[in-house]
A = this chain, B = another copy of it.
């Protein structure tokens, strides 16, 4: 038996792959966080849905695996990609105890890519992706990673840059990176990618420090070569001018 974990992209129907759409169409029940399920319901209103609130991920996965074990065709949905801060690893963990269940992950366009396309080409060279959420990761670990990414001159994409409880985390992150990167480094923030209210801002690292991000923001920090070109953030493909 198979259980699918499907990345639906940023949220618009067009941002989904054909494979993701087919898997959802062929499933008996679609399982997901309420907000993402609502996006899919617009496309596939006649499906059965099992939804639950944020932070209920483990319960949702257990329920999904249970339904799959009963022989139902289950698709667990994630925004963006299924693997990047998504449910794929959790479903693999929960399904480990069920010998008959194969976990099939269907990749999707993660916010680093859809947001990247919106702001220009911020991840055109080596990059690091870091979540500022300390819900499942000690903050010291996050600080260490920010430091390493800065020292390595990686372009950086930040997920979960802010929430109600973590208003100053983006500022803290910028301060760590500013220790070894210029205050004029080109940066960008993308909000509500692929949804109503989509917008982006290109700015300097100094400005990003005081930027008001929210939980629907994806942040990009350039490497030493990143430039602003006609209002977009562009990281060149290399260091040699070939």
Interface residues of A (CB under 8 A from B): 7, 9, 12-19, 21-22, 57-58, 81-86, 88-90, 92-93, 95-96, 103, 105-110, 113-114, 116-118, 120-131, 135-138, 141-142, 144-145, 147-149, 151-154, 229-230, 232, 234-240, 242
Contacts and interface: CB of A to CB of B under 8 A. Distances in A.
Contacts of A129: 123, 126-129
Contacts of A152: 128, 144-145, 147-149
Given A17-B9, A232-B92, A117 B128 contact: no
Contact of A239 (B96, B109, B120, B138): B138
B96 A230 contact: yes
A239 B93 contact: no
Task: Please report whether the interface of chain A is mostly helix, strand, loop or mixed according to DSSP.
Answer: mixed
Contacts of A131: 125-126
Residue picked from A96, A118, A152, most chain B C-beta under 10 Å: A152
B135 A242 contact: yes
A122 B19 CA distance: 20
Given A16-B18, A123-B129, A145-B153, 12 more contacts: A13-B18, A14-B17, A81-B116, A82-B117, A83-B113, A88-B124, A92-B121, A92-B232, A107-B113, A125-B131, A126-B130, A128-B149
